[in-house]
Amino acid sequence: MFDCPFHYHPEIELTHVSSSFGQRIVGDAIDSFEPGDLVLLGPNLPHLYYNDLRNSKSSSWARASVLQFKEDCLGKSFGELRELGEIADMVHRCKRGIRFLGKAAAEGARMLEELNESKGVSRLTLFLELLGTLAQAEEWENLASLAYCPLLNAKHEDRINRSIAYMYEHHVEELRLAKVASLAGMSPESFSRFFKKATGKTFIGFLNELRISSACSLIQQSDLTITEICFACGFSNLSNFNRRFKKIKDMTPAEYRKKSLIGSA
C-alpha cells in the first residue's frame, strides 16, 4: 500500500504506477489512477496517492517506480542550452503537474524501468533520453489549475493530512464539516478558511470531487450500474450525482463509461 500523505518537496518527481487503483491528489486536482499512470510533479507541488482496496487485489499489490531529481541537476543554466530547451519547457509546465497519456505514458514507463536498473554513465544517458522523450510527448495534460497557490507550511501538514485521511476513509458516508473540523482541533469557520488555503477547494467541493473520483474508478473497474455507483460513492440521489459528475468531468457517467470501454479496447 502506498505510504504517501499530502506532502511536498523541492525535488521534481516522476511516478509510474505499475499496479494499484485509487485516487491521486495533485494541488487542487483530484483524479482516479490505475496501472500505467505516469505523472511528473514540479518542485513544492503538494500531492498524495490513496489506494482503493475495493479494486486492488491486496494492500501489498500496490507497486510504483519513483524518480526524484533537483531542478538544477543538469546545471543552473541548462535551460539556456538550445539542445535542452524542450526539457526546460517541460520543467516549467510540470509546476502544475503533468499526466502523460497513451504512447507517451507507455514509453516513459518503459524507459523509467530501464533507468532504475542501469548504473554509471548509461544511467545519466538514459535519464536525459527519458526527459527528452517526455518533453517531446504530444499526449499529456496539466493537473493542478492555473489559479492554484499551495499553502507551503510544514506545521500544517499533520492537520491537513488527518483531515484528508478521514475524508477519504469516510467519503461514502454522510460527512459533516463540524466533525472534520473538530478532528483538526478547529472551529468550522476557521477550518473552512484553512482547508481552502491548503487544498484550493472548499470542504464540499473537495468532498464532491473525491466522491466523483471514486465513482470514476468504479465505472472503469466494476460492472455496477450507474445508480449503484451513485449510492456506493456517498451520493443520496441520482440526479445530484449526474449533475456533479457532469460539472466535474464535463460528461455524464454513461459517457464516461463508454469512453473508458473504448480506451481499453
- Of 30-34, 79-83, 117-121, the poorest mean pLDDT is in 79-83
Q: Calculate the CA dihedral of residues 189, 195, 200, 206 and round it to 10 degrees.
A: -100
pLDDT (tens digit per residue) in 155-193: 778 888 889 989 998 999 999 999 999 999 999 999 999
Domain 154-264, CATH = 1.10.10.60
pLDDT (tens digit per residue) in 217-244: 899 888 999 999 999 999 999 999 999 9
Q: Percent of the chain at pLDDT above 90?
A: 65
Largest CA-CA distance found in the chain, in angstroms, rounded: 59
> What distance in Å separates the CA atoms of residue 256 and residue 242, rounded to the nearest whole number?
11
More confident residue, 73 or 249: 249
Give φ, ψ of 63 to 5 degrees: -135, 140
C-alpha cell at 265: 479496447
Which residues does residue 18 pair with via DSSP β-bridges, in sequence order? none
C-alpha cell at 11: 525535488
pLDDT at 197: 87
Question: Is-contact 71 13, C-beta < 8 A?
Answer: no
Question: Is-contact 12 41, C-beta < 8 A?
Answer: yes
pLDDT at 74 over 80: no
What are the domain boundaries of the chain?
12-142, 154-264
pLDDT at 149: 81
- 0.95 surpassed by pTM: no
Domain 12-142, CATH = 2.60.120
pLDDT mean over 69-86 = 77
